[in-house]
Amino acid sequence: MQLYHIALNNILRRKAKMLFVLLGLLIGVATIVSVYGVVEAMRAEMTRQVAKFGANIVITPDAGELTFSYGGITLPAVLFDVEQLTGEDVAAIENIPSREVIRAVAPKLLGLATAGGRHQGDADGQNVVVVGANLQQEFMVKPWLRLRSGEEMRSDEQKASESGTVPSGENAPAAEKEMDFAMLDLAREDLTRLVLSDEQILVGSSLAATLGVMEGDLLTLSGREFQVFAVLKDSGSAEDEQILLNLSAAQALLARPEQVTVIELAADYTLGSEGVLLSELQEALPNVEVTSLRQEALRRDEMITRLVRFGTSVSVLILFVGMLVVGLTMSGAVRERTREIGVFRAIGFRKSDVAKIILLEGFIISVLGGMLGYFVGMAVAYYAGPLLANMSIQVPWRLDLFGLSVLLAILIGLLACIVPARQAAKLDPAEALRFI
């Protein structure tokens, strides 16, 4: 016989009362777990969405008043006499302390070139926007970019052939037939295979249609001949009208060696660490504009902050009520057990032993309440989370929360039992046994 035997037996005997105490703790813990689970899942989803959004920091030369717009980003007018970004600036980014939060660094050079199609007469003299970039990094900051698959290519070619817009067959260069079509079905995770030579280009879908070029065709840009490595899938973005090629190839084509027009960064920062990253970038690149595209993140983070505040308030309130329920119920149970406690004291239990029995009862129920609270809370978060968050979220079963839930329940349960335990310890045994 140990003190915990007494505590355990009493719990089993007063099932209804103890169930009430258990419920108080369970609801408190479950609320906190579910709110925490939902909020964390929302954060994860937002990070995922922000990552999907691609670049979130844009570095441009300090242009003063002379600007033009590229994909919604204001850029300096490259033809004017402003200080250009260079490869050194790109290297400087690699050396900042917060480099590890930057997922991709995508420098690019923008310019205009004169296009001549496979049939020189078709598109002769048309100005096209060429974008020289590190293509793997570019695809990382622009997750919507896809290469047209071999199947799509063949189907498009078929349609074009039927309508007679694009000559095919014997007129197609030999290189087309040698194209590795499997190469065109690049998966996102397989960007390492996206390696172009300086004589190869990617053409936006709309531009390809306008120029009448397809994969494997040759296209002349400002007098230099390039092979169309692939056509980009229609994405509804500015890239549909552009030509992508290696940065070095663009620098040679546009006769702007070492120059870079804009550097886009995809960084996995939270709002708290954003300031640090931006100031580090500004310090590393003192004469440039560093712009954060954080409006969306800010709006969502604000929403989450509000939800956290609301959830925390509700949780604290519920926990407080739970604590009150535990305290009052245990206090009532102590009053009911006056004689029993008198017997304990008369047969030699110290005050501390009596207090320990009450605290042990609180402890046992708290452990149980914490465990059940975790499962109920996670279940609520799992099933009702998407509804509560009004977002498509997946709440994972977080085992690390299990221990925390139990610890929290123990803390609350023991705190609530302090008063009843003191009350029990202070009982006068003579009075309890009605000797006086």
Partner 1 sequence: MAEIMIAMKNLTKAYKSMGDEVQALRGVSLNIDKGESVAVMGQSGSGKSTLLSILGGLNPPTSGSVEVDGIDVYALSQEKRADFRREYLGFVFQQFQLIPYLTALENVMLPLTTIKKSNREKREIAGSVLCRVGLAGKMNRLPNQLSGGEQERVAIARAIVNEPPVLLADEPTGSLDTKTGDEIMALFQRLNQDGLTVLMVTHNPENTRYMSRTIIMKDGQLCTDKAELLQLVSAGKR
Residue 399 found at the interface with partner 1 (CB under 8 A): no
Q: Give CA separation, 70 vs 19, 58, 87, in Å.
A: 65, 11, 20
Among residues 20 and 68, whose Cβ is nearest to partner 1? 20
CB of 360 to partner 1, least distance (A): 12
Residue 408 found at the interface with partner 1 (CB under 8 A): no
Among residues 18 and 378, whose Cβ is nearest to partner 1? 18
Among residues 415 and 433, whose Cβ is nearest to partner 1? 433
Question: Which stretch in 142-150, 208-216, 233-241, 350-358 sits in contact with partner 1 by CB under 8 A?
Answer: 350-358
Residue 3 found at the interface with partner 1 (CB under 8 A): yes
Query: What residues numbered 254-283 form the site for partner 1, per CB under 8 A?
Result: none
> Of residues 164, 348, 387, 392, which one binds partner 1 by CB under 8 A?
348
Residue 433 found at the interface with partner 1 (CB under 8 A): yes
Site track 12-51 with partner 1 (rule: CB under 8 A), x = hit: xx--------------------------------------
| Structure-token pair, residue 142 | 């622009």
Question: Which stretch in 10-18, 166-174, 271-279, 396-404 sits in contact with partner 1 by CB under 8 A?
Answer: 10-18
CB of 336 to partner 1, least distance (A): 12
| Cα gap 75→97, rounded to integer Å | 27
CB of 329 to partner 1, least distance (A): 17
Among residues 299 and 350, whose Cβ is nearest to partner 1? 350
Query: What residues numbered 351-390 form the site for partner 1, per CB under 8 A?
Result: 351-353
> Of residues 10, 137, 315, 331, which one binds partner 1 by CB under 8 A?
10
Residue 187 found at the interface with partner 1 (CB under 8 A): no
Residue 436 found at the interface with partner 1 (CB under 8 A): yes
Among residues 13 and 177, whose Cβ is nearest to partner 1? 13
> Of residues 269, 344, 363, 374, which one binds partner 1 by CB under 8 A?
344
> Of residues 144, 307, 340, 422, which one binds partner 1 by CB under 8 A?
340
Compute how many residues bind partner 1; rule: CB under 8 A.
28
Residue 422 found at the interface with partner 1 (CB under 8 A): no
User: Strand pairing of 242-246 and 102-116?
Assistant: unpaired
Q: Which residue do the tokens 């296209």 mark? A: 219
Full 3-state SS string of the chain: CCHHHHHHHHHHHCHHHHHHHHHHHHHHHHHHHHHHHHHHHHHHHHHHHHHHHCCCEEEEECCCCCEEEECCEEEECCCCCCCCEEHHHHHHHHCCCCHHHEEEEEEEEEEEEEEECCCHHHHCCEEEEEEEECHHHHHHHCCCCCECCHHHHHHHHHHHHHHCCCCCHHHCCHHHHCCCHHHHCCCHHHHHHCCCCCCEEEECHHHHHHHCCCCCCEEEECCEEEEEEEEECCCCCHHHHEEEEEHHHHHHHCCCCCEECEEEEEECCCHHHHHHHHHHHHHHCCCEEEEECCHHHHHHHHHHHHHHHHHHHHHHHHHHHHHHHHHHHHHHHHHHCHHHHHHHHHCCCCHHHHHHHHHHHHHHHHHHHHHHHHHHHHHHHHHHHHHHHCCCCCCCCCCHHHHHHHHHHHHHHHHHHHHHHHHHHCCCHHHHCCCC
> Of residues 48, 79, 339, 397, which one binds partner 1 by CB under 8 A?
339
Residue 347 found at the interface with partner 1 (CB under 8 A): yes
Among residues 88 and 428, whose Cβ is nearest to partner 1? 428
Residues making contact with partner 1 (CB under 8 A): 1-3, 5-6, 9-10, 12-13, 339-340, 342-353, 429-430, 433, 435-436
